[in-house]
Amino acid sequence: MERLQKILARAGLASRREAERWILDGRVSVNGTVVRKLGTQAEPSRDSIRVDGKRIKLAAEPVYLALNKPAGVITTLNDPQQRPDITQFLEPLGEKQRVFPVGRLDFNSSGLILLTNDGELAQRLMHPRFGVKKLYHVKLSACPTELELGRLRKGIRLEDGMTAPARVRVLEKLKKNAWIEIELHEGRNREVRRMFEALGYFVEKLIRVRIGNVELGRLAPGEIRPLMRTEIIKLKRAVGLQDSRSEPERPESRRRATSRR
């Protein structure tokens, strides 16, 4: 027997946190009875578990992907406002119903997004307790002073409280602008933008270039690739899921599945 939210996450339908919201909203039923209690357990091989009336099927194999999300695209599989979403990049791979994004990257930002049907890994990667670091390159309207960067390194007060200390440095100082590199391990909404706005700077571009050990690299905007086996092992180890010594030694396929629009 497993908790419903874990079953839904393992089926690749949503993260465990989102699955909990579905249960509370009355969207999930077990053997014809709507369930709203988060502690409810079921047996997926025996019970009829449905979301919005549709019976779920457990994913046969875990899928792990990296996407370079372009700016002007929302990080979701279905947007009620009909804005461009990431399904356009997944459809050619046949992955639309099998994976979901790990966390968010706001509409105007670009860069690395991880997608998977491994709900347990996704939940841990998004949880601040595990401190998975994310690296961003940010183009600002002007170059901050060392004093201002020092405030970010110590933590800066936002409307929802103090931020954790960030690692930050100037990448390139231009005539009127500057590129800044900043590394965080929190997952607050629009945190990077709000941190620089608190210092009085406008963010002209924001690109996420790394999540944990996975790097954006040369992945083009709109392009998707499967994670390498070594990347998956290191991600799992970072959140306490798996030790690399338990993994069998198998050659990693480097075939790249790509999708562009």
Interatomic CA distance for residues 116 and 237, integer angstroms: 16
Interatomic CA distance for residues 75 and 22, integer angstroms: 19
Residue position matching structure tokens 């046949």: 94
Helix (H) or strand (E) holding 113: strand 110-116
Q: Does the annotation mark 106 as catalytic?
A: yes
In one letter, which amino acid is 231? E
Instruction: Using alpha carbons, list the distances in angstroms from residue 175 to 9, 141, 171.
Output: 48, 10, 14
Dmax over CA atoms of the chain, in Å, equals: 66
Residue 111: CB partners within 8 Å, gap ≥ 6?
68, 69, 105, 136, 206, 207, 208, 209, 216
At 150, list the tokens.
């020092």
Interatomic CA distance for residues 1 and 7, integer angstroms: 10
Of 79, 106, 118, 243, which one is the catalytic site residue? 106
In one letter, which amino acid is 241? L
Active-site residues, by number, are 106
